[in-house]
Chains A and B, each alone.
Chain A
Amino acid sequence: MTKAKYLFISLAIVAIGCTSTSTSGKLPIYGNKIFEENDTIYHTIEDFRLVDQDSSWVTNATFEDQVYVSDFFFTSCPTICPKMKQQMLRVYEKFEDNGQVSILSHTIDPKHDTVAVLKDYASKLGIKSSKWKFVTGDQDYIYDLGEKSYMVMADEDPEAAGGFIHSGAFLLVDKDRRIRGVYDGTVDEQVDILLTDIDKLLKEYESTK
């Protein structure tokens, strides 16, 4: 009887310990929340359809059962983009063999960055697999997607170096299309955090399976 009690208490402690560590180890969920009845509805990436460097369609379904890192850039960018691409290469290299992680880079200069230009850029960067998708499409559509879904700003600005202003953010999106992390893609230390956050995010899915 007393033995059973002790067992119960210690199990309870273990259980509490587990849940508390797993909640504190979870990444935050970004964006506005809507509370409906008993449900919380989180901000999600809306449906999209863009073309990648291999002329294939890229949609939400492309990232089914995957987490992905998203950013916005342009190939002729003289400022922060090369740095962002150098940092994104770290994500690519670390998760090269992990089918659950993808990268989605949107051009904000689709007039110049055609499929052929993106293809050339990707191959010069040394990207061989389709894990890292460089996508293009209608300019307004991409800006809209950036602003509404990824909450990053991009705009044409003749005054800015290269003709565009845009953010250097990397966004981590989970398998349920929710934004789980925002990082400065030009800063080494921020990308260090991104790399460990991706591991954490993948663990979350392991433990719910």
Chain B
Amino acid sequence: MNQLNKILTVVAIFLLISCGGSQGEQQKEENSASSRDEIRLRQYKVQGAKIYSTYCANCHQDDGKGLAALYPPLAGSDYLLEDFARAACIIKNGQSKEIVVNGVTYSQMMPGNPISNLEVAEVLTYILNAWGNEGGLIGVKDVDKWIDECEEDY
């Protein structure tokens, strides 16, 4: 028993040391531009997850799989991944025309959302990087531009 404790302590110390080491390395990296984006991506994802559960999860579900032929999936959605600008417009303004997502036709109404462009960028970043999606970071400047140029026909 005592011996087990000793072993555990030793292992714990080792882990602490090795973790501390990698943290130091990370701090060095933070100075480079790519790691600034990395941090922003992480922040956007955290904020975006909150927005998602408040405004989106009812319909698209926590796992992003949608609901039957009523609400389309966001996880692995070909429609979403094909055009980020269009996705930003849908999130802001809603949509009700017929669309095809992963081979299934949807035509239920999605209402627009009373959220800022920054929040659109955050939630879009979240859905583009959750559930196996790999869309990367969406900056708020891009969203500003896209929202200005949204088509009328939704």
Contact = CB atoms under 8 A, between A and B. Distances in A.
A83 B69 contact: no
Contact of A78 (B61, B68, B111): B111
Interface string B59-90: 10100000111110000000000000000000
A80 B67 CA distance: 13
Contacts, number: 35
Interface in A115-130: 121, 123-126
Contact of B70 (A80, A82, A161, A162): A82
A78 B70 contact: no
Nearest to A76: B109
B58 interface: yes
A121 B111 contact: no
A126 B68 CA distance: 7
Interface in B40-74: 57-59, 61, 67-71
Contacts of B69: 123-126
A76 B94 CA distance: 13
Contacts of B61: 82-83, 86
A70 B70 CA distance: 21
> Chain A contact residues (Cβ within 8 angstroms of B): what range?
10 to 19
A78 B71 CA distance: 11
Nearest to A80: B58
A190 interface: no
B36 to A, nearest CB: 36
B70 A121 contact: yes
Contact of A125 (B57, B68, B109, B111): B68
Given A124-B68, A125-B70, A126-B68, A82 B59 contact: yes
A55 interface: no
Contact of A79 (B58, B68, B71): B58
B108 interface: yes
Contact of B67 (A76, A82, A162): A82
A124 B58 contact: no
A175 interface: no
Contacts of B68: 89, 124-126
A131 B94 CA distance: 33
A159 to B, nearest CB: 13
Contacts of B70: 82, 85, 121, 124-125
Interface string A65-108: 00000000000101111110110010000000000000000000
Interface of B: 57-59, 61, 67-71, 108-109, 111
Interface of A: 76, 78-83, 85-86, 89, 121, 123-126, 161-162
Given A82-B70, A85-B67, 11 more contacts: A76-B109, A81-B58, A82-B58, A83-B57, A86-B67, A121-B70, A123-B69, A124-B68, A125-B70, A126-B69, A162-B111
24 contacts: A78-B59, A79-B58, A80-B58, A81-B58, A82-B58, A82-B61, A82-B70, A82-B71, A83-B57, A83-B58, A83-B61, A85-B70, A86-B61, A86-B67, A123-B69, A124-B68, A124-B69, A124-B70, A125-B68, A125-B69, A125-B70, A126-B68, A161-B111, A162-B111
